[in-house]
């Protein structure tokens, strides 16, 4: 199977990322960030807190608002303007309590990052904290989440179940979005993909694989065990891993853990890298939790795709994002550069 060069021409509709040097035309640069937790700083109506949100609100007021800083997101945006990725993937928890005001605030932030064709969003458990009015919440992000047209259901979407899995194709890249976000009990932060979505995922992975596309699966909850505690787990992670093991995928991205993670998932055809980004807004003194985003540079050659993973971490001293060198994950060991070979027998990392 021959992988043709990536088409990294910016999508129509403008945006803030300029054309790269023509000599770099065969590259596709993807930025992955997650969990900005943009809370609403204004007054909150009491009736909006008469549910799971009350515990989250108190936790925010007395603990987490000191960690997640809006000014770090502003600095991150400036750094992305210099990095100039062809596409940005955000793996959920854009909001903290899933309030309509937070959805609006996140929508404004998304617009500052790029157009809906340049930015792909999947929801997190905080975005689906409680059952909410679709039109006042997720509908605000619909054009950042939905598949390329033509959309299923004639484009009429009234819930996350109508929307996912999503598929967006950019050149030789297939961006496949999954939804693991559902309201859960107050003490839980679990996620579930569900049987219908898994069955559709199987079809999408097979079809995009047959087309020779580089398949990137984005989901909020980690698909591997041992990354988060049981109360934060993906309840059907085993089934999801089974689908990916059968059908293959070239890269999986997740958030939720608030720690950088880099692992691999064994499939019938090889190993799929599974990369987790910490919160994009965290000012934590714990280096593993501090704000980061990942930059994947995919370079096509005649029959392979070289993938380089770079990390940019927030420096509180310099008040900017800086490149991070070396191994930071105690779980995975060094995997800064790997070669992903797509062939008729699947994907291998060498
Ligand atoms: Fe989460």
Residue 135: burial class (beta carbons within 10 Å; 0-12, 13-18, 19+):
exposed
Q: What is the pLDDT of residue 51?
A: 66
In the predicted structure, residue 334 carries a pLDDT above the cut 50: no
Q: What is the pLDDT of residue 67?
A: 77
Q: What is the pLDDT of residue 297?
A: 87
CA of 125 to the centre of ligand 1 (A): 5
The count of C-alpha atoms lying within 13 angstroms of the C-alpha of 130, restricted to the half-sphere facing its C-beta, is 17
CA of 128 to the centre of ligand 1 (A): 10
**pLDDT-derived band at 38, boundaries 50, 70, 90:** very high
- Structure letter (DSSP) for residue 73: H
- Taking only the tens place, the pLDDT of each residue in 275-315 is 999 999 999 988 889 999 999 988 876 666 778 888 899 99
Residue range of the domain that includes 68: 27-334
The whole model's pTM is what? 0.84
Q: What is the pLDDT of residue 327?
A: 43
CA of 18 to the centre of ligand 1 (A): 32
Q: Is residue 176 left, alpha or beta, with left meaning phi > 0 and alpha meaning psi from -120 to 50?
A: beta
- Taking only the tens place, the pLDDT of each residue in 47-58 is 666 666 666 666
Residue 190: burial class (beta carbons within 10 Å; 0-12, 13-18, 19+):
middle
Q: Does the residue 87 lie in any domain?
A: yes
- Taking only the tens place, the pLDDT of each residue in 239-280 is 999 999 999 998 999 999 999 888 889 877 678 889 999 999
Q: Does the residue 66 lie in any domain?
A: yes
CA of 7 to the centre of ligand 1 (A): 33
Closest CA relative to residue 109, chosen from 83, 74, 142: 74
CA of 178 to the centre of ligand 1 (A): 14
Q: Which tokens go with 215?
A: 């398949």
Rounded CA separation 214/92 (Å): 22
Q: What is the pLDDT of residue 18?
A: 44
Q: Which CATH number is 312's domain given?
A: 3.60.21.10
More confident position, 65 or 120: 120
CA of 93 to the centre of ligand 1 (A): 6
Q: What is the pLDDT of residue 155?
A: 61
CA of 350 to the centre of ligand 1 (A): 32
CA of 313 to the centre of ligand 1 (A): 20
Q: Does the residue 200 lie in any domain?
A: yes
Q: Does the residue 49 lie in any domain?
A: yes
CA of 296 to the centre of ligand 1 (A): 22
Q: Does the residue 345 lie in any domain?
A: no
Locus of tokens 């803030």:
16
Summarize the confidence of residues 138-164 as an average pLDDT. Answer: 84
- Taking only the tens place, the pLDDT of each residue in 172-199 is 899 999 999 998 877 889 999 999 999 9
Kindly report the number of other CB atoms within 10 A of residue 159's CB atom: 10
Summarize the confidence of residues 115-121 as an average pLDDT. Answer: 97
CA of 177 to the centre of ligand 1 (A): 16
Domain count, the chain: 1
In the predicted structure, residue 200 carries a pLDDT above the cut 80: yes
How open is the CA angle 91-336-343, to the nearest 5 degrees?
Answer: 80
Least confident piece of the model among 54-58, 199-203, 219-223, 225-229 = 54-58
Locus of tokens 């692992």:
263
Summarize the confidence of residues 319-332 as an average pLDDT. Answer: 64
Per-chain residues with Cβ under 5 A from ion ligand 1? 93, 124-125, 256
β-bridge mates for residue 42, sequence order: none
More confident position, 182 or 91: 91
Q: Does the residue 314 lie in any domain?
A: yes
Residue 348: helix, strand or coil by DSSP?
strand
Q: What is the pLDDT of residue 53?
A: 67
Q: Does the residue 4 lie in any domain?
A: no
Q: Does the residue 84 lie in any domain?
A: yes
């Amino acid at each position: 199977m021959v992988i043709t060069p990536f088409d990294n021409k910016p999508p129509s509709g403008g945006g803030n990322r300029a054309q790269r040097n023509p000599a770099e035309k065969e590259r596709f640069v993807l930025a992955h960030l997650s969990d900005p937790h943009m809370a609403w700083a204004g007054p909150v109506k009491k009736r909006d807190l008469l549910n799971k949100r009350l515990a989250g609100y108190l936790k925010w007021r007395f603990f987490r608002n000191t960690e997640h800083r809006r000014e770090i997101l502003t600095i991150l945006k400036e750094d992305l303007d210099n990095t100039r990725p062809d596409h940005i993937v955000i793996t959920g928890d854009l909001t903290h309590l899933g309030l309509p005001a937070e959805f609006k605030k996140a929508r404004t932030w998304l617009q500052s990052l790029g157009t809906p064709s340049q930015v792909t969003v999947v929801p997190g458990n905080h975005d689906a904290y409680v059952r909410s009015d679709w039109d006042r919440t997720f509908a605000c992000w619909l054009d950042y989440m939905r598949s390329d047209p033509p959309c299923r259901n004639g484009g009429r979407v009234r819930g996350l179940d109508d929307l996912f899995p999503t598929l967006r194709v950019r050149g030789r890249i297939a961006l496949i979005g999954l939804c693991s976000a559902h309201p859960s009990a107050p003490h839980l932060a679990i996620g579930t993909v569900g049987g219908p979505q898994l069955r559709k995922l199987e079809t999408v992975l097979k079809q995009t694989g047959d087309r020779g596309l580089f398949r990137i699966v984005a989901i909020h909850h980690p698909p591997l065990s041992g990354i988060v505690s049981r109360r934060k787990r993906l309840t059907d992670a085993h089934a999801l891993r089974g689908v990916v093991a059968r059908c293959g995928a070239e890269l999986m991205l997740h958030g939720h853990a608030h720690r950088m993670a880099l692992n691999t998932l064994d499939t019938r055809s090889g190993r799929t890298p599974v990369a987790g980004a910490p919160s994009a807004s965290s000012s934590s003194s714990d280096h593993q939790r501090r704000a980061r985003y990942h930059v994947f540079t995919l370079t096509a050659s005649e029959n392979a795709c070289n993938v380089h993973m770079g990390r940019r971490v927030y420096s509180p001293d310099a008040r900017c994002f800086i490149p991070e060198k070396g191994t930071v994950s105690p779980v995975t060991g060094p995997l800064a550069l790997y070669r992903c070979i797509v062939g008729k027998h699947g994907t291998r990392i060498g």
